[in-house]
Amino acid sequence: MNKKKLAFVTFSSKYLKIKTNPTYKEFILLIKKLGFEILHEWYFKKEERTPELIYSQSLKSIREANYLIVEASIDSIGVGQQITYALQKKKHVLICIKKSRFSKNSLNFLKGTKSGNIKFIYYKGLNDLEEQLKAILSNKEDQKLEKLEKFNFLSTSRIKSIILEESKKQQISQSELLRNIIEEWIANNLKK
C-alpha cells in the first residue's frame, strides 16, 4: 500500500509578488503533479490573517506533513525557521534553488545546513526540477521500505577517524554517512 505523500510547501512571500520562472503557481502545480497532497495552501488565502495564525497554521502543517518542500531561490528568514522546525521534527526537507542563484552569498548559511533529512536540488528550469524531484522521490520511497540491518566491519584507525570527522562535519551519524557513500557508489556503478 502506498503511503500518502503529504507536503507543506513554502517559499518567500516575495515570490508571490515578483515575476519568476517558474512562477509560484507552476511550482505548486508541479508538486501536485508528483502526487503530493499539499497541506495548508497559504499562498492562495485571500482573507487577512494575523501573524500568530500564520505561524500556528504553518507549524501544524509541518508536523502533519511527510515532507517540507521549499523554493529557496529568494531569501526568507521565515522559510529558514520552517526548515529548522521541519528538521527538528525529522521531516524530509527538499530545498529547491535555481542554479542561477547558487553563488549568491545570501544563501551561504542555508547551503551550509547538513542533515540526512535534507536534500538540495539545484535546477535550471521547471522540467529539470521535475526530473530531479522524481529521481529523489523514487529513491526516498524505496529507502523507507527497506529495513535497516546491522552490519559491522573492520577498518584501519585512519579510515575510522576520517569517517568520524566527516560525519561530524555533515552533522549525521557515521552509519548514515556510510550508507550515503554506499548508495552513491551503487548509483554510479551498478545498472538497475
Domain CATH number, residue 56: 3.40.50.450
Task: Note whether residue 64 is domain-resident.
Answer: yes
* More confidently predicted of 130 and 8: 130
**Residue 119 pLDDT level (bands cut at 50, 70, 90):** confident
39 lies in the same domain as 130: yes
43 lies in the same domain as 134: yes
CB 114 within 8 A of CB 170: yes
| Mean pLDDT value across residues 129-146 | 71
| Mean pLDDT value across residues 143-159 | 75
* Total tally of structural domains belonging to the chain: 2
- Residue 62 has a pLDDT of 92
Task: Note whether residue 150 is domain-resident.
Answer: no
138 lies in the same domain as 178: no
111 lies in the same domain as 172: no
- Residue 1 has a pLDDT of 38
Task: Note whether residue 131 is domain-resident.
Answer: yes
CB 96 within 8 A of CB 70: yes
134 lies in the same domain as 166: no
60 lies in the same domain as 110: yes
**pTM for the whole thing?**
0.69
Task: Note whether residue 68 is domain-resident.
Answer: yes
- Residue 120 has a pLDDT of 85
98 lies in the same domain as 167: no
The boundaries of the domain holding residue 119 are: 5-145
31 lies in the same domain as 62: yes
Task: Note whether residue 185 is domain-resident.
Answer: yes
Task: Note whether residue 151 is domain-resident.
Answer: no
Task: State how far the Cα of 57 lies from the Cα of 55, in Å rounded to an integer.
Answer: 6
- Residue 72 has a pLDDT of 86
Lowest mean pLDDT among 3-12, 29-38, 64-73, 171-180: 3-12
Percentage of residues of the chain with pLDDT beyond 70: 83
Strands (E), the chain: 5-11, 36-38, 67-71, 92-98, 118-123
- Residue 183 has a pLDDT of 77
Lowest mean pLDDT among 38-52, 60-74, 144-158, 160-174: 144-158
